[in-house]
């Protein structure tokens, strides 16, 4: 878009009207109208689709969960609505989130954290069935991508009731976890 030094008062008024949601006059410069409409569209899209919230796992290590509860992260007991099975107990920190992949398919994403002696953080990612179904859909994929764009993907087999990946991260690293089911993609963003 042109700078205000290059605009006439009439062109500025056209842009102002378009940004305010009003139509441009018939005699307005079409290039100015196109640029202003594109800019307004970008602003609206940015407001309707804010940047995803990045979960800071270091806060979990400090026992601070308030920010992440607001976006769906809970204890395993809260997510499964029953006591945690023995195979899931005995870990430093575990949180889970129900992920609705579509109307018929919900899974649970579990993040398990363990701080290691060398200041690294061991993170185990699991995707489990909710109990409403016996197995994960065979087209389900779990992908973890680190900030260097290294990625590892695992796919559900015919009778898998969970998927799992284990990663080591250092303080300051960012990464994302993506669940794919056919054409549906859901991504959660994290930092250490």
Over its C-alpha atoms, the chain yields an Rg (Å, rounded) of 23
Domains of the chain: 9-48 (no CATH), 54-191 (2.60.40.10)
Tell me the two tokens of residue 61.
């290590």
Q: At residue 91, does pLDDT exceed 90?
A: no
User: Residue 50 in contact with residue 44, Cβ under 8 Å?
Assistant: no
In the DSSP assignment, the letter for residue 161 is S
User: Distance between terminal CA atoms of the chain?
Assistant: 38
For strand 184-191 and strand 174-181, is the pairing parallel, antiparallel, or unpaired? Answer: antiparallel
In the DSSP assignment, the letter for residue 65 is -
**Other residues' Cβ atoms within 10 Å of the Cβ of residue 63:** 7
- Chain-wide mean pLDDT for the chain? 84
Mean pLDDT is highest, among 32-36, 132-136, 156-160, for: 156-160
Which tens digit of pLDDT belongs to each residue from 1-11?
Answer: 545 457 788 88
In the DSSP assignment, the letter for residue 131 is S
Q: At residue 90, does pLDDT exceed 50?
A: no
Q: At residue 12, does pLDDT exceed 70?
A: yes
Which tens digit of pLDDT belongs to each residue from 141-175?
Answer: 999 999 999 999 999 999 999 999 999 998 889 99
Q: Which residue has the tokens 């997510």?
A: 79
Q: At residue 109, does pLDDT exceed 80?
A: yes
Rounded average pLDDT over 42-63: 77
Q: At residue 43, does pLDDT exceed 90?
A: no
Confidence of residue 84 (pLDDT cuts 50, 70, 90): low
């Amino acid at each position: 878009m042109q700078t205000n030094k290059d605009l006439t008062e009439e062109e500025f008024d056209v842009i102002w009207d378009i940004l305010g949601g009003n139509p441009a006059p018939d005699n307005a410069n079409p290039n100015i109208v196109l640029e202003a409409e594109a800019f307004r569209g970008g602003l609206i899209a940015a407001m309707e689709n804010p940047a995803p919230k990045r979960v800071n796992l270091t806060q979990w290590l400090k026992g601070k969960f308030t920010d992440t509860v607001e976006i769906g992260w809970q204890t395993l007991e809260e997510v499964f609505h029953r006591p945690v099975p023995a195979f899931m107990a005995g870990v430093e920190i575990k949180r889970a989130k129900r992920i609705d992949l579509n109307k018929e398919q919900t899974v649970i994403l579990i993040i398990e954290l363990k701080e290691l002696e060398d200041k690294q953080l061991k993170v185990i990612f699991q995707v489990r069935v909710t109990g409403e179904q016996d197995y994960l859909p065979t087209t389900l994929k779990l992908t973890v991508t680190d900030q260097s764009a290294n990625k590892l993907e695992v796919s559900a087999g015919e009778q898998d009731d969970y998927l799992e990946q284990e990663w080591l991260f250092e303080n300051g690293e960012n990464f994302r976890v993506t669940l794919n089911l056919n054409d549906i993609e859901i991504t959660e963003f994290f930092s250490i």
